[in-house]
Amino acid sequence: MANSKGFELSIRSTPENIRLIEPFVREVQLSFRFNDDIFFNMLLVVTEAVNNCILHGNHADPKKYVTIKLKPGKTSLRFVIGDEGEGFDPNSIPDPTMPERLQDPNGRGVFLMRQLSDKLNYSKCGRLVEIDFRLPAS
């Protein structure tokens, strides 16, 4: 988790490894001392991003890894999460708030990630996502 380079986690792409995300994010909270509202948003967003990497990016292939790195800034924390998959076009994801999509049981993850973080950006053909959370002034 925390090491000399900061907070990093590399996990095999198996669904049961999602359980490793909460202790990782809790350790970040304890180190940077932010409130539970930020923690729960962060936990939901990072968990969704990792889940997407495992299931959609790496197709739950245990030979592939998902990496999670934290890059602290002066006023925010940035999570950089990547997979070893083929990538995707994040702009091709349909808007789940469109009337014809409201009854769909899936397809809200990236929408929620955008709503609960302060900034979300995909790169490397969708294989890498950077997620920013502003921290309250102390």
Rounded mean pLDDT, 75-93: 93
Phi, psi of 72 (to 5 degrees): -75, 140
pLDDT digits (tens, 9 = 90+) for 100-136: 777 776 778 899 999 999 999 999 999 999 999 999 8
Polymer length in residues for the chain? 138
| The amino acid at 77 | L
pLDDT digits (tens, 9 = 90+) for 14-72: 999 999 999 999 999 999 999 999 999 999 999 999 999 999 999 999 999 999 999 99
pTM of the model: 0.91
Phi, psi of 99 (to 5 degrees): -50, -40
Domain encompassing residue 88 = 2-134
Q: What is the pLDDT of residue 31?
A: 95
Describe the strand order of the beta sheet including 65-72 as a list of residue ranges: 2-3, 6-12, 65-72, 76-82, 128-134, 119-123
Rounded mean pLDDT, 82-88: 95
Predicted confidence (pLDDT) at residue 77 exceeds the cutoff of 80: yes
Looking up residue 110, the CATH number of its domain turns out to be 3.30.565.10
pLDDT digits (tens, 9 = 90+) for 4-29: 356 999 999 999 999 999 999 999 99
The percentage of the chain sitting over the pLDDT mark of 70, rounded to a whole number, equals 93
- The span from the CA of 126 to the CA of 138, in Å, is 34
Bridge partners of 34?
Answer: none
- The span from the CA of 103 to the CA of 110, in Å, is 17
- Comparing C-alpha atoms, which of 131, 101, 103 is closest to residue 117? 131
What total number of domains does the chain contain? 1
- The span from the CA of 118 to the CA of 41, in Å, is 10
Q: What is the pLDDT of residue 2?
A: 55
